[in-house]
Structure 1
Amino acid sequence: MSTRIYAHYMIETPYHVEHAANVMAGEQSSGTFTRLANETDALREAHGAIVESIEMLDALDAPSLPMRADLAPQGHTLFQRARVKLSWPLENMGPSLPNLVSTVAGNLFELKEFSALKLLDIELPDSFASVYPGPQFGITGTRQLSGISSGPMIGTIIKPSVGLSVAETANMVEQLVVGGIDFIKDDELQANGPHNPLRARVDAVMPIINAHAERTGKKVMYAFNISGDIDEMRAQHDYVVAAGGTCVMVAVNSVGLAGVTYLRRHCEVALHGHRAGWGMFSRSPHVGMAFTAYHKLWRLAGVDHIHVNGLRNKFSEEDDSVITSARACQTPMFETPDAGYQIMPVFSSGQSAAQVTDTYQALGNSDLIYCCGGGIMAHPGGIAGGVASLRQAWQAAMTDIPMATYAREHRELAQAIEAFGQ
């Protein structure tokens, strides 16, 4: 069983790659800019980071990121790219998420040796699983809570993002519940604002959801956004649970790893992770953090779902990246039994029936939450028609029937194709 932490990077440097990689290793472990008297060989052997491998890539004649000319070595002509793998002994920090981040993504991005640096992936010892319980519900538990045993969970987001009153929100929920929705979430911008306080929203929404469950046996999952300070999140979680709710949501980048970890240890319902601010890490191919590394932190912290965008989305993320992210969520993290930590990817951002076939064929399964705003609300048949069109599109995809063929006998899907394309 490994007792080392591994991190994979893409780097670009005008220095010799071996030198730059050693600077990374030294900066993030025992080294400083000069050798110290008490920095013994034995200390370095026990605690120093190791450059495990270097894979040379292409070279450029100009830096990918702005770089002061005086920081490059004299006589350099190329900026060399490479994949670098570093490792650290677990003993340096122990199985601690905050200190893990300080180690693998700390004072690296500002080092003068680099004109690009991105964290691509991390590999962690199983001992992290003994400290961090990870997702409480994950894919299987979310299905149990929602009563959706197979196929995707069809979901949506309350829109407009802000500005609706409590009564207006409840009215929309009523329409969605009657229309057959499986999952509803607050927008990340709407948490506990004075025009629509969380507790008042819970008081208005949960009677609708509970009454529908009593009539039909199906309890719609509503992800209430409880993002806030630690004590506030705990109190709001308790309020949702007392009202019969089955899910709470947090904007993970806003509340932080320690906040999510604390909430997970207290949580009794599914924990929905929204990655608002993700673009700060991902938008540039030259700096930041890839989702493969990023999402593992939040899986350990304990989210049960996390957003991955969607195909042909309204943002800048490419389709291949979306599918890679979704697959990563469903891939086990540890070899320890019962510590797979698989979570449910959430597809969103401009989705409708038009992307369903491509999504299913690319992902290869339907273990996901498929959130559509306009794809439901703007459907010619209204909310019920929008929800039905999505179920029909997924049924066609999962049974390998061309959508146009399936639409001949399914009016709502035909309307969706006409409205949103195929």
Structure 2
Amino acid sequence: MTLLQNESVHATYRVRDKEQQLQKRAEGIAIGLTIGTWTELPQARLKQVSAHCGQVEGIHVVSEAEDGQVVADITVSYPVANFDATFAALLTTVFGKLSMDGEIRLVGLKIPTSLQKRFPGPKFGVAGCRERYGVQSRPLVMSIFKACIGLRLPELVGQFEAQSLGGVDLVKDDEIFFTEQYATPEERVVAYRDTARAVAEQTGRITHYAVNLTGPVHRLLDRARRLSELGAGALLVNVVAYGFDVVADLARDPDVHVPILAHPAVSGAMYGGDTYGIEADIVLGQLARMAGADMAIFPSMYGSVTLGRRATDNLLHHLRDETSVHKTSLPAPSAGIYPGLVPQLYEDFGDDFIVNAGGGIHGHPQGAAAGGKAFVAAIEAVGHGMSLEQAALSSEPLAAALKKWGPTK
């Protein structure tokens, strides 16, 4: 694919510095992350490399800071010809050694269509996931395995069965479940598949299993193909821990024919500081979608670890932007989710999202099955324009959940 020479990736950095130093600092970024230096190049070589040099596109003072300094946004463009179709090239070019240069944060990244097309994006997207899971007009409900490490397969199957009886659409592994001492991912997929079919005879609905894709990187693709063939409902991938390029390889492979559920483990090391690192919406939204995340988990606005409203809105924009060349992704806000929060979730996320609950299901006083039923009842209530209190009159699990956790706080 030919990349236009005049197209560029635009990166915006937030810095704190003396205002009179901003231009020099911006030029240092533009040159330092592309050709390295002007001063040591002979005239012939300088002409040869000039087309690959970064350019300062703008400097905007955001606010005054202490000690005579200001907070400013510096935007630098990098010629598309400098990149290949890897996240390694993208991240190293726009923020590689610069990330070690003191107080600086990558807050914006605009990638031209010609380069975006070289990344796979979601294979299924929102529409494909809805079709696969048989859910068209409401949020999906996903339960999280808890206390899974150290359990034998029959005990794990019991947990899966209880969650399935609650009517949830998906049950996902805990992202820390790597050990295969008692049950391999392949064994779990087969056992849960059979259990889901048996439960479906009672409930009329199939519950799908999002299996944690684990193992050495060089074996992940083969394992992903095998798990897909065995009947996995989705692949849970720790996208930052394994790397965006690993996820992209999975999304590109035609034999990996199940959705990818991106988990944000380790991502806080990239976005956790206010003045260092990379904005959360870039890491968990923009890059995850480009890599192929059909569904993307991120910290909700309601738990003890949150992104906050602005970061969440920006992240949702990246996952849902329909002007993108890629299919849209389903957002899955996580942590602090309980049945009484469902009306607020609808208000904040609309219909296209995943209700992702761990403690809100397993902590239900009547057990995990009742926990799932409470969420299902809450979603049905909102869909029919009823209050949760009204719905609780005909749903004992929802009534018990409201008594324990209350309605929206």
TM-score > 0.5 by shorter chain: yes
Match of 2:290 in 1: 300
Q: Does the 8 Å contact 2:374/2:397 carry over to 1?
A: yes
CA distance in structure 1 between the partners assigned to 2:204 and 2:48 by the alignment: 62
RMSD (CA atoms): 2.4
Match of 2:28 in 1: 23
TM-score where L is the length of structure 2: 0.89
- Residue type of the alignment partner of 2:318: A
Match of 1:254 in 2: 241
Q: Does the 8 Å contact 1:121/1:292 carry over to 2?
A: no
- What displacement does 1:50 show? 1.3
Q: Does the 8 Å contact 1:346/1:369 carry over to 2?
A: yes
Distance 1:39 1:290, change over 3 A: farther
Q: Does the 8 Å contact 1:157/1:373 carry over to 2?
A: yes
More off after superposition, 163-172 vs 236-245: 236-245
Q: Does the 8 Å contact 2:363/2:371 carry over to 1?
A: yes
- Percentage identity across paired residues of the two chains: 25
| Alignment equivalent of 2:120, drawn from 133, 136, 146 | 133
- Trace 1:359-370 onto structure 2 (pairs within 5 A): 359-363=345-349, 365-370=350-355
Q: Does the 8 Å contact 1:308/1:326 carry over to 2?
A: no
Partner deviation per Cα, 1:143-193 (whole Å, 9 max, x = no partner): 111111121111111101522222211110111112211111111111343
Distance 1:101 1:273, change over 3 A: same
1:184 aligns with 2:171: yes
Distance 1:316 1:38, change over 3 A: farther
- What displacement does 1:4 show? 1.4
Distance 1:299 1:80, change over 3 A: same
CA distance in structure 2 between the partners assigned to 1:375 and 1:142 by the alignment: 23
- What displacement does 1:303 show? 1.6
Q: Does the 8 Å contact 2:161/2:199 carry over to 1?
A: no
| Alignment equivalent of 2:94, drawn from 84, 104, 111 | 104
- What displacement does 1:298 show? 2.1
- What displacement does 1:39 show? 7.6
List gaps (5 residues or longer) in structure 1: 62-76
- Trace 1:89-238 onto structure 2 (pairs within 5 A): 89-111=79-101, 114=102, 116-213=103-200, 218-238=205-225
Distance 1:192 1:235, change over 3 A: farther
Q: Does the 8 Å contact 2:165/2:203 carry over to 1?
A: no
Match of 1:49 in 2: 54
Q: Does the 8 Å contact 2:120/2:248 carry over to 1?
A: no
CA distance in structure 2 between the partners assigned to 1:95 and 1:234 by the alignment: 19
- Residue type of the alignment partner of 2:113: D
TM-score where L is the length of structure 1: 0.87
Q: Does the 8 Å contact 2:166/2:372 carry over to 1?
A: yes
Partner deviation per Cα, 1:40-80 (whole Å, 9 max, x = no partner): 6534641111111111022322xxxxxxxxxxxxxxx4232
List gaps (5 residues or longer) in structure 2: none
CA distance in structure 1 between the partners assigned to 2:264 and 2:59 by the alignment: 31
| Alignment equivalent of 2:321, drawn from 331, 338, 347 | 331
1:272 aligns with 2:261: yes
- What displacement does 1:375 show? 0.9
More off after superposition, 376-385 vs 119-128: 376-385
Match of 2:8 in 1: 4
CA distance in structure 2 between the partners assigned to 1:39 and 1:393 by the alignment: 70
Distance 1:320 1:407, change over 3 A: farther
Distance 1:374 1:421, change over 3 A: same
CA distance in structure 2 between the partners assigned to 1:119 and 1:377 by the alignment: 38
1:13 aligns with 2:2: no
Give the total of aligned pairs: 399
- Residue type of the alignment partner of 1:159: K
Match of 1:67 in 2: none
Distance 1:122 1:245, change over 3 A: same
1:389 aligns with 2:394: no
More off after superposition, 200-209 vs 172-181: 200-209
- What displacement does 1:216 show? 5.5
Q: Does the 8 Å contact 2:342/2:378 carry over to 1?
A: yes
